[in-house]
Amino acid sequence: MADSPRVALFVTCLVDLFRPSVGWAAVALLEAAGCRVEVPEPQVCCGQPAFNSGDRRTTEDLARQLIPALEPFDYVVAPSGSCAGMLRRHFPELFEGDPAWSARARAVAAKSFELVSFLVEVRGMRVPPGRFSGRVTYHDSCSGLRELGIKDQPRRLLRAMSGLELIEMEGCEVCCGFGGTFCVKYPEISTKMVDDKAARAEASGAELLLAGDLGCLMNIAGRLARRGSNMQVRHVAEVLAGRLDAPPIAQSRG
């Protein structure tokens, strides 16, 4: 295991459906870090839409569906702080006091990680394999930042890329207003929040915005595009892996 751990990629439903290129970037990064990557089935969703809508039963059912698929692996890695936070922090909470599932949920939680923090903290990555030149800014997604303490890890890897200039925008830790179903339940407030985020991103002078969660990225990219901005938006894994062949989020080919 020390040499090449068996890693389950929990690709997350948004990456699976909307941006598979992020999944491939994650595979490339994990393999560059010496991992054997598999994509176990069945994996659908970590259950957050149900969990945050107060539908505890569906959440537990989905967790019971997912946990057995992840158990055989040394690690579970997700290219999302939000979904990794669900596995790490909330799965054990869900089954507190449940004799059959509590230990299993805790065991899966203990070996589940968000991609970039896994690369840096568990695999000791110092220099990512990708190459990129240009000015980028990094948005700290809420769950990754506050549930998992992801702040420095992506910045450390980005700074190690020669040619990449990292510019901090004002309020990089402020929520973008996505919040899962929040963005459609309260579109007016969500719009105000993402508009503030887009304005601050543009004001930073960066040409590319990165983050570790596709939900936030689709929200920010969607607003930037509606504002008529040229700013590009990508998942941080794409830049770290140097996989930039897919057009930026919400942009067309060519």
Return the residues of window 193-212 that contact other proteins according to CB under 8 A. 193-195
Helix axes 214-226, 187-203, angle to 10 degrees: 80
Which one of the spans 64-72, 95-103, 118-126, 156-164 is the region binding other proteins (CB under 8 A)?
A: 64-72
**The only residue of 191, 199, 200, 202 in contact with other proteins, by rule CB under 8 A:** 191
> Judged by CB under 8 A, which stretch of 100-108, 115-123, 179-187, 202-210 contacts other proteins?
179-187
| 157/117 Cα distance (integer angstroms) | 10
Is the separation of the CB atoms in 175 and 142 below 8 Å?
Answer: yes
Q: In this complex, which beta carbon is closest to other proteins, that of residue 106 or of residue 159? A: 106
With tokens 């997912």, the residue in question is 66
Instruction: Among 16, 74, 202, 207, indicate the residue that binds other proteins (CB under 8 A).
Output: 16
Can you tell me which of 166, 182, 199, 200 binds other proteins, judged by CB under 8 A?
A: 182
Quote the least distance from Cβ 191 to other proteins, whole Å.
Answer: 4
Under the criterion CB under 8 A, does residue 240 sit at the interface with other proteins? no
* Least Cβ distance, residue 216 to other proteins (angstroms): 10
Residues 209 to 238: which contact other proteins by CB under 8 A? 218-219, 221-223, 225-226
Indicate whether 249 belongs to the interface with other proteins (CB under 8 A): yes
DSSP string, 163-208: TEEE-PPTTTTS--S-TTTHHHHSHHHHHHHHHHHHHHHHHTT-SE
Q: What angle is formed at CA 148 by the lines to CA 33 and CA 108, rounded to 5 degrees?
A: 70
Residue type at position 28: A
Cβ-in-10-Å burial (0-12, 13-18, 19+) of 205 comes to: exposed
Angle at 209 between CA 166 and CA 85, to 5 degrees: 100
Among 135, 181, 203, 205, indicate the residue that binds other proteins (CB under 8 A).
181
Residue of 1, 54, 133, 163 interacting with other proteins (CB under 8 A):
54
Q: Which stretch binds other proteins (CB under 8 A): 102-110, 158-166, 186-194, 200-208?
A: 186-194
Residue 82 C-beta: closest distance to other proteins, Å: 9
Asked whether 220 and 193 are in contact (CB, 8 A), the reply is no
The answer to the question of residue 149 lying near other proteins (CB under 8 A) is no
Q: Which of residues 67-96 bind other proteins (CB under 8 A)?
A: 69, 72
Could you give the 3-state DSSP secondary structure of residue 134?
Answer: strand
